[in-house]
Each structure stands twice: as structure tokens, then as C-alpha cells.
Amino acid sequence: MLMDLDSDEKLLLDGVTDFAERALRPAVRPFVERHEFPTELVRQFAELGFMGTAYDPEYGGGGLGVRGSALVTETLARVEPGFAAIYLCNSAPMTVISRYGSPALKERWLKPLCEGRTLASFGVTEPAGGSDVASIKTRAEEDGDHFVINGAKIFSTNAGTPLHGLSTVIAVTDPEKGPKGLSTFVVPVGTPGFSVGKAAHKVGWRIAQSVELYFDNCRIPKEYMVGNRGDGLKQILTTLSVGRILVGAAGLGLTKKCLDLARSYGNGRRVGGVQIFEHQGLTFPLATVMTKAHAAELMIRNAATLTDAGRSFRTETSMAKLFATELASEAADIALQVHGGYGVFEDYEVSGLLGEAKVLQIVEGTSEVQRLIIARELATS
């Protein structure tokens, strides 16, 4: 397990940190307060090439794999978790196209995504399905040289924004085959029959717009299928496993943000003439969070390294996601406690971090789902 960053990763970290501190931090707070997608900030970030960090340079990517993407996610989340969400949710459709798409599909869709010319959303979860991908109801029926898609998806982040150009959508192509009858499609924005619902406010990821996707006799060419017919379940599981590393990295970044805010406030706050950090009741929980943050960093780096090496990584990604996101909730709680009464006022940034942490415990598979995956490993090892 390697902790050290190589020279390319250090350059990446320097570049993302510069954007996060110079452009993002001074400008993002009003968008958070308004639950508003920060179009120009995202455009600026994307045009710097960071969206393509993980992917093949042949298609405009940086070639730095999941390790690189995890660094980007953590750095963004330490400033604004919702901005990290925009990045990691764009990575899911990019991952499925990159890993399974034909060269023509990559040239047409992955390249503009890597180059920051458009954004994508992932359409998996459905109103009645939740984490159970086997219960997907959206259908894609063959009709000559097209497929016709009918159904709906929920919680599709980045869809409906001014930069949204396409969605990758999982649909049933062979219902008689059960879970093995799922396939993945690219559906470009503007395709007749494809529409997007209204964004609702969330307790976290407030600038990352999440909406419903609707498909009403939506016709797309057969060549817009990603990979082979019936490979949808495999593609979902792999993409979600990769995504869990990034969600874990967002949890680590949020944990560090909580520590930053707690330090800043605690070092300047005195009660009864005594600095509050002289009380072990506050410093000991923070010491525990710092220790766990180091462990989370090791777990995330290890899971990303396994993934990039093409080795088995599913259990490690679930452990990293579970540990880092539950740590983020713990860190948000103690950071708010350090702020005392001020922590419950929205004027203080710390007030919203419990909501941010809770979102991370739910997306890309809840904590309960991660424990189920890990427990299955116990039963089979």
C-alpha cells in the first residue's frame, strides 16, 4: 500500500488546491445559501481539465486513475462538499463509458466530458427501487436500428443544469433474464421523449442539482448502447464500487473541513478566561477524529491503488466508503459542538455540515448496504 504521491499526483494536487482556494472558496458560499448550481465556477473548473483526471489521455484525460480522482474529490470537499459532489457524480457516467464504451462512443462522448465541454448524469435509481438494482423497471425495447426507452429515474445529479449534455441510463432490455437483462445507454440532452424534473432542496450537496429523469418513447440509436447487451448489472456494480472510493474521499475532505473549522473557532474562543481547547472534553474527541482521518486516508488510497492496478477491489471500496462517511458524521457533530450555541446558526458554515455528512452515508449505497457487502465477504472467505 503506497501513501506517497508521485510527481504527477503532486502537480495535480497543487493545481486543484489552487483552484479551490483561489476561485472556489471566495465565491461559492452564496450559491450554497441559495441552493443554486454555480455554473460559471463549474465551467471554469472543467475547462482546466480536472474532470478528465482519471481517464485515458487519448480521449483528453489526465491518465491519473482513481487515485487522482480521489485527490480531486477530497480537495474540493474540504472547501465545499457540494462542489465535490458535482465532480464525483460526473465521474460515474464517465467511468462507465471509459470502461465499457466502444472507441466511437468514447470519441463522441468521453472526450468532451474530459475536456470540460459538457457534464453528464447517471440514471440508475428509481422511485420504487432504491439500492435494489434488480428491481429496475425502465424498459428499452428494440425497434429496428433504435431502442425505445420508457420509464423514470430519480436522484440524478448534474441533470437539468446549463452544462448537462447527456445521461447514462440503465434499462431492462431482456426482462426474462432478470438482473442479467439490464443494459446501459447514452441518452443525449435534447433527444425527443427525454425530459428532466425540477430540482428540490437537500440538506447537503445543496449546489449539486439532483432531479428526476423521464423517458417517454425516447428513441436512441443502437450504437448508443454502452458495451454489450445484458452487461448493465456488471457495469453498475463496477461503477458504483469506483464511485464509493470518491464518496469516501469526499467524506475525508469533509472531515478535514470539520477539523479546520473546529480549530479556527476553538483557538480563538475563551470562556471564563480559559481557551476552550484547554478542556479535554473537546480536544480528546478531535484527537480521535484526527486519528481516524489518517486511517480513512490509508483505506481510500489503498482501495484506489487496487482499482487502478486491476485487482479485486469491491470489498475494500465498501470498507473505505463506510468508514470515511461515518467518520464525516462524527467529525461534523464534534465540530458543531465546539461552536456551542453559534453552531446552530446558519451564519456559521459549520451548521450545515451534519446534513452534508448524512448525504454521504446514503449515496452510492447506504452504510447498511456497505455492511452487507463486507459481511458477504466474511461468509465467502
Q: How far is CA 242 from CA 5, 15, 96, in A?
A: 20, 23, 10
Domain 121-230 has CATH 2.40.110.10: yes
Dihedral of alpha carbons 246, 331, 80, 368, sign: positive
Q: What is the pLDDT of residue 135?
A: 82
pTM for this entry: 0.95
Q: What is the pLDDT of residue 130?
A: 64
Those residues whose C-beta lies under 8 Å from the C-beta of residue 175, and which sit 6 or more positions away, are 139, 181
Contact between 151 and 171 under an 8 Å Cβ cutoff? The reply is yes
Those residues whose C-beta lies under 8 Å from the C-beta of residue 31, and which sit 6 or more positions away, are 37, 38, 41, 207
Domain boundaries, the chain: 7-119, 121-230, 233-380
Q: Give the active site residues.
A: 364
Question: How far is 147 from 217, CA to CA, in rounded Å?
Answer: 9
* Pairing verdict, β 146-157 and 210-221: antiparallel
- pLDDT-flagged residues of the chain (< 70): 1-3, 130-131, 268, 270-274, 279-280, 381
Q: How far is CA 14 from CA 10, 20, 22, 83, in A?
A: 6, 10, 12, 18
Q: What is the pLDDT of residue 271?
A: 63
Contact between 208 and 365 under an 8 Å Cβ cutoff? The reply is no
| Residue type present at position 134 | A
Q: What is the pLDDT of residue 1?
A: 42
Three-state SS for 297?
helix
Q: What is the pLDDT of residue 265?
A: 86
Domain 233-380 has CATH 1.20.140.10: yes
Domain 7-119 has CATH 1.10.540.10: yes
Q: What is the pLDDT of residue 273?
A: 62
- 7-119 and 233-380 in the same fold: no
Q: What is the DSSP letter of 164?
A: E
Three-state SS for 5?
coil
Question: How far is 181 from 134, CA to CA, in rounded Å?
Answer: 10
Q: What is the DSSP letter of 200?
A: -
Question: How far is 227 from 151, CA to CA, in rounded Å?
Answer: 21
